[in-house]
Amino acid sequence: MTDRHFRSCTLCEAMCGIVIETEKGQITSIRGDEADAFSRGHICPKAVALKDLHEDPERLRRPVKRVGAEWVEISWNEAFDLVERGLKNVQSQYGRNAIASYLGNPTVHSLGAMMFGSAFTKSLGSRNRYSATSVDQLPHHLAAMWMFGHPLLIPIPDLDRTDHLLIFGANPAVSNGSLMTAPDAAKRLKEIRARGGRVVVIDPRYTETAKLADGHYFIRPGSDALLLLALLNVVFAEGTDRLGSATEFTDGLAELKTLVASFPPDRVAKSTGISAEAIRKIARDFSAAPRAVAYGRVGVSTQEFGGLACWLITALNVVTGRIDSPGGAMFTRPAVDMIHLGTDLAGARFGRWKSRVRGLPEFAGELPVSALAEEMDTPGEGQVRALVTHAGNPVLSTPNGVRLDRAIAKLDFYVAIDFYINETTRHAHVILPPTAALERDHYDLVFHVLAIRNTAKYSPPLFPKPKGTMHDWEILIELAQRMRRGLWKRLSGRVKAAVIKRAGPRGLLDRGLRTGPYGRDGLSLSKLDSAPHGIDLGALEPCLPARLRTKDKRIHLVPDLVVADLARLEQTVAKSNIPRDGELSLIGRRELRSNNSWMHNSERLVRGDRQCTVLMHPEDVAVRKLTDGDRVRITSRVGAIELELEASDAMMPGVVSIPHGWGHGRSGTKLTVAAAHAGASINDLTDDIRIDVLTGNAGFSGVPVHIVRASS
């Protein structure tokens, strides 16, 4: 007999509703849920990989410890004892900051980890806390905090009502809207054009999104801030600026006008690769549209001027009257309001302390991950000697992965909370595997905050927790309790842990729903239990200034720190950001069938050829006397890799692209499918010294590389 279950896919930000059919406890099919309140039946090829993950024989179900080159299965009690002893030994010898923690991207897809992860990292008492935030989106959070008062007050494009979408360095047709959760974004882009609107893309690659757009402009990697300054210059020079409803609570308009006055289109044209005439057209079309919104993502946040670019995108929305306006950049009203509840980010600060070696700034208790390797391999007081990772593979996902790989291998102790032996966790002394996505509760705490529409949906576990396994939140609570020092702290920790375990993620989620903005209307977990397709809570609505979290309840249009950073940007104008001596600028790319590195252990997601290639414009191919399909050697300051060359006029001349998440050829992993489709890691080329000085975020985009034919 076939059973049908309605759930949400957990493999990217899109929150797509899915229908999973099972027979006798086995998954027989996964397809889109046409009745889902948000995704309207859409799924991408990744969703079916939930079956592969759940059934993967290489997924760990029991704790293991490394004995030489072998892995030995052990009991949970032994595993926890080993971890407690290993971590406490390091801290007793070298101090609390000798332990570093790293939270990977999949952490935000776990309700339990989001609720209980900070309890463990805080129990370590270390300032060496890191996460994927600083390789991905940190500039967006800081811009939101500086301008609106909270790092999660990120303006969301009102995609379904806009007339003009201006996209910088984002590819929502593939990502489904990172930091703009929008399932079936490709269809939504088509709908903009169908109702007479326009979509314009600024990107060094003619992306899948650009193919759906009305216009596309190549831009030199790392020059988005210059372009945005010029766009604002045109807006002010031609008198099309208007604050609209934000007039009464916005400060800094006159100062911004003065700052952008020295960046006319003619000055930045050479540096950006976009003509002055084209810059004026982009600005005029944007200003003239009845409803418009500017949106930027990875291409702008992962560059050396990511903080400035993210600030300027929001400033462009503010000064053209698009902020908090239907069809513009709006703010969500999520059922569980992490902004209102007083989460860890509520009191987020920046630069309270800095990393030991390079002095990189802290944000919300975390240091930039570009500093992690140097904190491990630089001797002296405070050197990192132990590591804890949760759902992360930083060897493949952070800059200069080769250096980090070597540094982790030398640690005194390393424990991974993960269910794969991957390129990073192969160095662990102990691995604690949590249950998989279909064996635990699911509710998207973060992505509802970033969605283009207010909805709520809860997915109960599809399968019962197998005997002898633990959820990630249970692992985290146990570790937190063990790491508390002193008898009283340990006893009080046990009491708290017992109370929390009884409530679990469900109990805390129910409390969040009942105390949220819809709780007074009766929204609760029991109501979501009765709505397996989710509940539509309505379109985004104007909410300012009430939702602002700045102390004075005003928008700070020109934060002091961004003004100071403009001097650094000025220096690039003279250099023109043009590659020299045969250099090419390297950018990443995201593939529809890939998001995190562990997905490459799904045969259906890696089948076919030419996934991990280096894209290069035919002119650059010809100049180097290469041929499509050649195996080439790509070198940067920090390393070298070899890949197949793919000639493509989708690339801007002088720019090459490699997808992220590959590089599965390292020995000692237990990912058979991934190893058979190894590819090479772009992060063996990216540079940990190359960062956005303003925010500390990794500067992936625009890394200088050289390419030659590989020797046979």
pLDDT of 609-618, one tens digit each? 778 999 999 9
> Is 80 exceeded by the pLDDT of residue 413?
yes
- The structure tokens 């939140």 sit at 473
Would you state the pLDDT for residue 417? 98
Q: What is the percent of the chain where pLDDT is above 70?
A: 96
Would you state the pLDDT for residue 495? 57
List, in order, residues 6 or more apart from 507 with CB less than 8 Å away.
none
pLDDT confidence bin for 497, thresholds 50/70/90: low
pLDDT of 281-333, one tens digit each? 999 999 999 999 999 999 999 999 999 999 999 999 999 999 999 999 999 99
Helix (H, G, I), strand (E, B) or coil at 655: strand
> Is 60 exceeded by the pLDDT of residue 553?
yes
d(CA 667, CA 676): 12
Helix (H, G, I), strand (E, B) or coil at 549: coil
Q: Are 227 and 308 in contact (CB under 8 A)?
A: no
List, in order, residues 6 or more apart from 202 with CB less than 8 Å away.
166, 167, 168, 169, 216, 217, 219, 224, 227, 274, 282
Segment 362-391 shows an average pLDDT of 97
Would you state the pLDDT for residue 468? 96
Q: What is the percent of the chain where pLDDT is above 90?
A: 90
Segment 591-613 shows an average pLDDT of 87
Would you state the pLDDT for residue 347? 57
What does the block give as tokens for 103? 């939270």
List, in order, residues 6 or more apart from 85 with CB less than 8 Å away.
none
Single-letter amino acid, residue 460: P
> Is 70 exceeded by the pLDDT of residue 576?
no
pLDDT of 42-57, one tens digit each? 999 899 999 999 999 9
d(CA 263, CA 522): 53
d(CA 654, CA 705): 10
Would you state the pLDDT for residue 592? 86
Would you state the pLDDT for residue 342? 56
DSSP-assigned letter for residue 429: S
Segment 378-389 shows an average pLDDT of 97
**Can you list the domains of the chain with their CATH numbers?**
2-55 (2.20.25.90), 64-126+368-442+458-533 (3.40.50.740), 138-334+551-563 (3.40.228.10), 579-709 (2.40.40.20)
Would you state the pLDDT for residue 488? 44
pLDDT confidence bin for 346, thresholds 50/70/90: low
Distances (CA, A) of 378 to 307, 329, 371, 385, 541: 28, 44, 11, 10, 50
What does the block give as tokens for 410? 């030398």
Would you state the pLDDT for residue 487? 46
The closest of 548, 546, 38, 544 to 328, measured between CA atoms, is 544
- The structure tokens 């991905």 sit at 136
d(CA 584, CA 635): 10
Would you state the pLDDT for residue 519? 96
- What pTM was computed for the model? 0.96
Would you state the pLDDT for residue 575? 65
pLDDT of 173-194, one tens digit each? 999 999 999 999 999 999 999 9
Q: Are 567 and 574 in contact (CB under 8 A)?
A: no
Would you state the pLDDT for residue 598? 83
pLDDT of 508-545, one tens digit each? 999 999 999 999 999 999 999 999 999 999 999 999 99
pLDDT confidence bin for 209, thresholds 50/70/90: very high
> Is 60 exceeded by the pLDDT of residue 556?
yes
Single-letter amino acid, residue 514: R
Segment 23-30 shows an average pLDDT of 95
Output 499 or 106, whichever has higher pLDDT: 106
For 436-450, give one letter per residue: b (16+ CB within 10 A) or e: bbbbbbbbbbbbbbb
pLDDT confidence bin for 573, thresholds 50/70/90: low
Do the bridges between strand 164-168 and strand 198-202 make them parallel or antiparallel, or are there none, so unpaired? parallel
Helix axes 487-514, 111-124, angle to 10 degrees: 150
For 484-517, give one letter per residue: b (16+ CB within 10 A) or e: beeeeeeeebeeebeebeeebbbebbbbbbbebb
Q: Which helix (H) or strand (E) holds 301?
A: helix 298-301
Would you state the pLDDT for residue 579? 53
Q: Are 429 and 66 in contact (CB under 8 A)?
A: yes
Q: Are 20 and 29 in contact (CB under 8 A)?
A: yes
d(CA 549, CA 572): 34
Which of 153-167, 588-602, 614-628 has the weakest average pLDDT?
A: 588-602
Cα Rg, the chain, nearest whole Å = 25
Segment 230-259 shows an average pLDDT of 97
pLDDT confidence bin for 581, thresholds 50/70/90: confident
Segment 565-578 shows an average pLDDT of 76
Would you state the pLDDT for residue 697? 98
d(CA 633, CA 613): 12
List, in order, residues 6 or more apart from 503 with CB less than 8 Å away.
none
Segment 442-469 shows an average pLDDT of 97
Q: What's the mean per-residue pLDDT of the chain?
A: 94
pLDDT of 447-460, one tens digit each? 999 999 999 999 99
CA 395-370-644 angle, to 5 degrees, is 45
Q: Are 202 and 166 in contact (CB under 8 A)?
A: yes
> Is 90 exceeded by the pLDDT of residue 446?
yes
pLDDT confidence bin for 593, thresholds 50/70/90: confident
Output 579 or 376, whichever has higher pLDDT: 376
Would you state the pLDDT for residue 503? 78
